[in-house]
Chains A and B, each alone.
Chain A
Amino acid sequence: MTATENQGTEAVTGVPFNLNGRAVHATDGELLIEACERNGVHIPRFCYHNRMKPVGMCRMCLVEVDTGRGPALQPSCMLPVTPDMQVETESEVTKQAQDGVLEFLLTNHPLDCPVCDKGGECPLQDNAYAFGPGESRFIEEKRHYEKPIPISDLVHLDRERCILCDRCTRFASEVAGDPLIHFIDRGSQTQVNTFPDHPFSSYFSGNTVQICPVGALTAAPYRFKARPWDLEAIESTSTVDATGARVVLQSSQDELVRILGLDSDAVNWSWLSDKDRFIHEANRSENRVTEPLARVDDGLQATRWGDATAKVATALQADASRIAVIGGARLSLESQYAWAKLAKGVIGTDNVDTQLADGLPAALALGLPRATIDEVCAPGGVIVLLGPDPKEELPSLSLRIRHAVIEDGATLIEITPRATSLSDLASVRLRATPGIVGQVLVAIANDQLSADVGGVAASDLQAAATLLRGERPLSVVFGRANLAESARYTADAIGAIRSIAPDASYLPALRRGNVNGALEMGLTPGFLPGGVRNSAEVGVEHWPTTPEFQGADTEGILRAAADGNIDTLILLGADPLGDVPDAVLSASAIENVSTVIAVDSFLTDSSSKADVVLPAAMFGEADGAFLNVEGRLSPLSAKVTSPGLARPDWMIAAEVSLAMGDDLGFGTLDELRQEMSAAVASLADVDWPGLSSADDGPVLRPHRNWDLEFGKPADAPPEPKSGLRLLVDRKLWDAGTMTAESPSLVGLAEPAVLRLSPSDAVGLNLVDASHVTVEQGDESYDLPFVVDESVAPRTAWLPIRLPGFDARKLLSSGGSVNSIQARIADGLTDDDAGDGGEPTAESEDTSDGGRQ
């Protein structure tokens, strides 16, 4: 960021210094190693990494520097350039120092390059070729360690190869905040390792493999899969979550074998979550749908594309209001447009929703003034987190926020119902009980700061108010913190923040892949592409028609379907049976729809019940564009061919349309993009071919600052008469399809745990208990529990869906806040469990009849 900021003013003048006799310039405060690099002189290094604090440990980057007191060897990674510094990177003294360090590093390094994953792309190997002597003078016994040991399910460590550069350990502690690997022992016996039986189970562990300058850390999924010189590579964007982390896809023999983080200055700084990094295993799953399937009797059977699309076309002859489309967040922007055109512009239905009843009103994401990630993380700013734990839902974004607070003096206000991965960094933490978050912010907006609100202390309200009303730039990262409460409370909270801080900007923390693209392309009721509100007065260029009615959102669609009011339901990579919080409603809906059409790559709970399944190309198999959380456009690239007859989604839309007798108007991606630029104002200026070469990609900033109607904030929901209010949210590793289809990831989900407040632990008499029974209606689970001070009294915090556990069965969408009954699990305590058992009266709905 500094470099960019400086480009306008500083680069022209900058800090003059002398590099090998050449007059050059550094930017203000620039480290010598970077300034040399920019001026075409590469200084070898092992410990230095441009996205971490320098430590000057490996000593490889020593160069001779004279600041007026005579030349001396200095680590160029630790030294900011000062005016008129004389730097010699080629002098005899410099070369001897660097050669010496290299020789030292090689003394105890094994000579197993031929069997090392890093061989061929190894900085140590490269430097040894470039600078090293041909022969070793080290005849002593080398250090020996047990050869690679797994330090997590995903990462193996070979301590003999390790050169103790501190990159992985620094990453774990400084960047990820998961100091689970560390230097152990001392001196020449120093090794990197975990604590025994505490594996390096960080969501970000794979980054350590990428930054390891030797082959000490290797990724279990990649070990011995390929050699660097066999790899083909292309830049792309991760679709695992909405951050849009930039990646490099690498393939060997038409198989994706590795994903690396791309150092995008604006987005992910080269860091990826392990989900971003290893999810490509799903591409090779044997469970891929590789040909069109159609229901014959009770089973799905392979069919030809033509027959499949004909069936679909027939099902789409129904009345537009009886046709609905759910999903689309997995699709590229182009495919989203194509499907939006098919649904809204050809069929004419507005029953289209990309969110699965687990998001927020589309108008919030589309209409609030948008912040970029850089703006959110700007030095000295104030960040409001009003939503879920970003580490669970948008992990690479959470690293940027973490950095902003720790290194750049940003201040974090956390308005979340429980502790998150960022809580320790927050200056103020407002822990509203479920259903109260709107009330809390309204109290601040109304300057009612003298009394506690919804479990939030008055002193915290005051502290938050001071920051929210302060002079510093304010940005709000907002999302759905609790899937067991109505989204309206979050909306109320945003409405209040709008009145407290009218100049605040917003970053929607909606999780699913290209959900922002889907919203922008109109895959949401009431909107046309480009954030245009649908009405009789507007149309879309190249579209035959637009919907003539206000459609329903996913919950409404499912309800209508359950009531028999939907004939044909198209699932665009969506699995409502697996994903929609109200599992009962979803089941009833799928049951009562005449025709379900699934465009998918796998047979999920939902698509396996479809009447027609159209096989879609996956990530890495089709070109396109991605619109990330900040509205930044970046490329999605095809690196491998789709298996079997799978096709890109936009092509499927075009085929279905043709089968219906309507030409969508584009036969190639280029034609599609041209139409998009013409039809969608926000895309008018996009340089489509240039996307793949742009450094960070353009940000679409239509400057919508809609005068949103927030209405009267909802009243606080009544306290449940018995039982616990539910707080349900997501974990990164869950029971999702993509994770389940990635062999290296499927085992990472941890068993479900109930978290509850100390007072409830006492109230439920859990002192000697190991498990708690939670139940709602006929559904119940016995769960281990953790007493968590961050959870509000009378609240149960549960993960939504993990293998063997499905909190959705305890939810209903009718209530504004869901509640459950909890009691000591029978037979799971030393005492008589019956003693501690709470009455398990009928489940109770604390509904105020809230809207959804």
Chain B
Amino acid sequence: MATNDYIPHAPGFVDNEGPKIVSSRFGHADSFTLERYEQTGGYQAVRSVLAGSTSDAAQLVKDAVLLGRGGAGFPAGVKWGFMPPVWPRYLVVNGDESEPGTYKDRLLMERDPHQLIEGCLIACYALGLNTCFLYVRGEMAEAQERIGTALNDAYDAGYVGRDMFGTDVAIDIVLHWGAGAYIVGEETALIESLEGNRGMPRLKPPFFPAAKGLYMKPTIVNNVETLANLPWLFTNGVDAYKEYGSERSPGTRMLAVSGHVNRPGVYEVEQGVVTFRELFYGDNYCQGIRDGNDLKMFIPGGGSAPWFFEEQLDLPMEAADVGSAGSMLGSGALVVMDETTDAVKACLRIVRFFARESCGKCTPCREGTTWEEQILQRILDGNGRPEDLDLLADIGSQISPGEYPAAAHPEAGLTAVPFPPKQTTICPLGPSSVAPITSAIRRFRHEFEAAIAASPAAPESDPEQRDAVVEVSA
């Protein structure tokens, strides 16, 4: 059945061996049409859900242990249960995929928008609400177009809106898109953005969206892939779903593997079972490192994740195991770097991302990430100073106090520091900037020292700038 090769209509997607829960239609060139969706069993699950009770639907999601696929991996059913009995309440779909290395929600939106819409309808019904906002990343014009068309078709068919499927149920799904801001992927920032504001995160506590979200009303924010699982889950049931994946992490995940592998691609992979080594080297997956090179390091869960190395290759991709090993699976984005990679440069590139994407709301992130970038750029430009490495460490600890999560480094006698990091910031963006710095310096300090040693003449700190505050009173 499986071609074990790329599919022309779904760039990057590899139709390999294994269960296809959310990517089952990708092989069809017209997978995004209502016609194809219905021919392949679409909109049947929601029909049966509407015939049952709302609480049964919610319970099923809980029983399935459907983990959120956006990054935090929290069980969706439990999250839904946090909603107080207050109305109006809202469902917001997070399609603002922008974590470096992450590429799977876009495929799901472009290739199978009706699957997502059906997932939204099931969730709305289970949550007893009638207004859903589908927030797509601004830069994804094709996804917006496909969902727009799909929604128009679904409204026309009587599947969305009033009198859905001839019942009395009425649910609106409003397509909304952003305009270029990574931080809006954070759920409270996404809500701010949906209110027409600057996408700056709110503090949790007190603003947990399930209780005080959109317009300060109870709001569930779910990732695209999470909801895309629902039609299959409700068609096939909890037991079938749990046949895949591990006990703690049932089902599959869409993983994007990029970087220096022979076959970078998006793979639907059983959760908690496959190891990193299998993923990177297996014939069913990435088929090894390019040019037969050695692995230098890899990012297991998007730009925010601390780096892993050779020693972590045999870990199964199970959230808890990866967490205790010092990183996270995050958004299903794996970036593989071979021995030719310049650790300083890679580190700077990721730090620069966070500095550019900091929203500016809280001081440590706004000032700290920019400062980190400036120092790393200076080192790379040949103006590094020996004290810069300690300074980077201090800045890191001012953004994320305590020991920062990191993989074990047996050679240096360093044990793993478990995830997650602590933070002086409002949201995890600032602390994420510390991940590449800690990871890179801890493992490749010599590369930084070499870059600094190569510096012709490090600038002295400017005596004019020396005193932070000038005495003014006599």
Cβ–Cβ contact B398 & A104, under 8 A = yes
Tell me which of B36-44, B284-292, B332-340, B420-428 binds A: B420-428
Minimum CB distance partner of A104 in chain B: B367
Q: A133 CA to B398 CA in the complex, in Å?
A: 14
Minimum CB distance partner of A97 in chain B: B424
Minimum CB distance partner of B180 in chain A: A186
Does A364 make an interface contact (CB < 8 A)? no
Q: Determine which of B425, B459, B470 lies in contact with A59 in the assembled complex, contact meaning CB atoms within 8 Å.
A: B425
- List B residues 353-385 near A (Cβ within 8 Å): 355-364, 366-371, 374-375, 378
Cβ–Cβ contact B459 & A188, under 8 A = no
CB distance from B255 to the nearest CB of A (A): 30
CB distance from A15 to the nearest CB of B (A): 17
Q: A72 CA to B206 CA in the complex, in Å?
A: 16
Cβ–Cβ contact B198 & A106, under 8 A = no
- List A residues 34-82 near B (Cβ within 8 Å): 55-60, 62, 72-73, 75, 78-79
Cβ–Cβ contact B469 & A101, under 8 A = no
Cβ–Cβ contact A105 & B459, under 8 A = no
Cβ–Cβ contact A140 & B374, under 8 A = yes
Q: A73 CA to B398 CA in the complex, in Å?
A: 12
Cβ–Cβ contact B468 & A134, under 8 A = yes
Q: A165 CA to B64 CA in the complex, in Å?
A: 45
- List A residues 170-191 near B (Cβ within 8 Å): 183, 185-190
Query: Chain A, 80-105, contact with B by CB distance < 8 Å: what is the 0/1 string?
Result: 00000000000001001101110111
Tell me which of A124-132, A616-624, A687-695 binds B: A124-132
> Contacts A73-B422, A106-B468 known; A78 to B206 CB distance under 8 Å?
yes
Question: A73 contacts which chain B residues (CB < 8 A)?
Answer: 401, 422-424
Tell me which of A5-13, A112-120, A675-683, A727-735 binds B: A112-120
Does B205 make an interface contact (CB < 8 A)? yes
Cβ–Cβ contact A189 & B378, under 8 A = no
> Contacts A164-B366, A188-B360 known; A59 to B469 CB distance under 8 Å?
no
Cβ–Cβ contact A104 & B368, under 8 A = yes
Chain B CB within 10 Å — which of A73, A100, A132, A139 has the most? A139
Question: B462 contacts which chain A residues (CB < 8 A)?
Answer: 139
Does B3 make an interface contact (CB < 8 A)? no
Category for how many chain A residues contact B: 35 or more
A-B contact count (CB 8 A): 142
Does B391 make an interface contact (CB < 8 A)? yes
Cβ–Cβ contact A105 & B360, under 8 A = no
Q: A127 CA to B378 CA in the complex, in Å?
A: 30
Q: A422 CA to B401 CA in the complex, in Å?
A: 46
Cβ–Cβ contact A96 & B401, under 8 A = yes
CB distance from A137 to the nearest CB of B (A): 6
> Contacts A97-B401, A100-B364, A105-B363 known; A135 to B466 CB distance under 8 Å?
yes
Question: A163 contacts which chain B residues (CB < 8 A)?
Answer: 363
Cβ–Cβ contact A183 & B391, under 8 A = no
Cβ–Cβ contact B469 & A103, under 8 A = no
Minimum CB distance partner of B470 in chain A: A113
Cβ–Cβ contact B360 & A114, under 8 A = no
Cβ–Cβ contact B181 & A59, under 8 A = no
Question: B198 contacts which chain A residues (CB < 8 A)?
Answer: 183, 186
Q: A132 CA to B461 CA in the complex, in Å?
A: 18
Chain B CB within 10 Å — which of A140, A164, A189 has the most? A140
Question: B426 contacts which chain A residues (CB < 8 A)?
Answer: 56-57, 59
CB distance from B362 to the nearest CB of A (A): 5
CB distance from A33 to the nearest CB of B (A): 14
> Contacts A183-B360, A187-B360 known; A136 to B470 CB distance under 8 Å?
no
Cβ–Cβ contact B424 & A78, under 8 A = no
A interface residues, Cβ below 8 angstroms from B:
55-60, 62, 72-73, 75, 78-79, 93, 96-97, 99-101, 103-108, 111-114, 116, 119-120, 125, 128-129, 132-141, 163-164, 183, 185-190, 229
B interface residues, Cβ below 8 angstroms from A:
181, 198, 203, 205-206, 355-364, 366-371, 374-375, 378, 391, 394, 397-399, 401, 422-426, 459, 461-462, 464-470, 472-473
* Closest CB pairs A-B (n = 7): A100-B398, A190-B360, A104-B367, A188-B370, A119-B472, A187-B358, A140-B374
Known contacts A59-B424, A132-B469; 5 further A-B pairs (Cβ under 8 A) = A97-B401, A101-B398, A105-B363, A134-B467, A134-B468
21 contacts between A and B (CB under 8 A): A56-B203, A57-B362, A57-B426, A59-B364, A96-B397, A97-B424, A101-B398, A113-B470, A114-B472, A119-B473, A120-B473, A125-B469, A132-B468, A132-B469, A133-B468, A134-B467, A134-B468, A136-B467, A163-B363, A186-B359, A187-B356
